[in-house]
A and B are shown apart, each in its own frame.
Chain A
């Protein structure tokens, strides 16, 4: 059995917030790093954040580079594609994410969190809206 992952899955609003120098997003990342928690960055959430027109500037791009250096990026490989499809199949309106990139990115976040939860200890905390505690 793999070791439990202790960390957080970042979704697009947190990624974009960090890039925009939002203090709460920065504090969340700082706390996670201070606790030596893993930061998981689903690539679709990153892609969604990159579509934010406010993140075109040099400062935002530098911030994203720092975040990517601190985090583990979860790419969409074959296994993840199946995981995202599984999340979509369980959604209230399974066809919706196919036309909404935001919901597809959310499905990726949920899939990563579900993977991590399945490997986590029984004391894992419930997920919050923007930050998902995947294990403790």
Chain B
């Protein structure tokens, strides 16, 4: 006697919920990509104005004040 076939997780998910989940994931990834692009564009605009990243000896004390022990961001370039 064979075991009744167990439905897999994909099949147990209503088609509309699965499609909704995929759309949500796509929207999340798209938002993350757009956010990264915006960040790069903002940084490029700022560094063009500044003539490059600020000097590390200026950045470090400000970083400690504002961000505590967070790792220093990598200089763009």
Interface of A toward B, CB cutoff 8 Å: 8, 23-24, 26-36, 62-63, 66, 69-70, 125, 128, 131, 133
Contact = CB atoms under 8 A, between A and B. Distances in A.
Contacts of A31: 59, 62-63, 66-67, 73
B18 interface: no
B17 interface: no
Interface of B: 35, 38-39, 42-43, 45-47, 49-50, 53-55, 58-59, 61-63, 65-68, 73, 76
A74 to B, nearest CB: 18
Given A63-B49, A66-B45, A128-B65, A35 B73 contact: yes
Chain B interface SS verdict (over half):
helix
Given A27-B54, A27-B58, A36 B35 contact: yes
Contacts of A35: 67, 73
* Central interface residue in A8, A24, A26, A34, by most chain B CB within 10 Å: A34
Nearest to B68: A125
Chain A interface SS verdict (over half):
helix
A30 B58 CA distance: 11
A23 B73 contact: no
Contacts of B38: 36
Given A33-B43, A70-B46, A28 B66 contact: yes
B66 A30 contact: no
Nearest to A23: B58
B42 A33 contact: yes
B74 to A, nearest CB: 8
Contact of B49 (A28, A34, A62, A128): A62
A5 B58 CA distance: 26
B39 A33 contact: yes
Given A66-B45, A66-B46, A70-B46, A34 B58 contact: no
Contacts of A34: 43, 73, 76
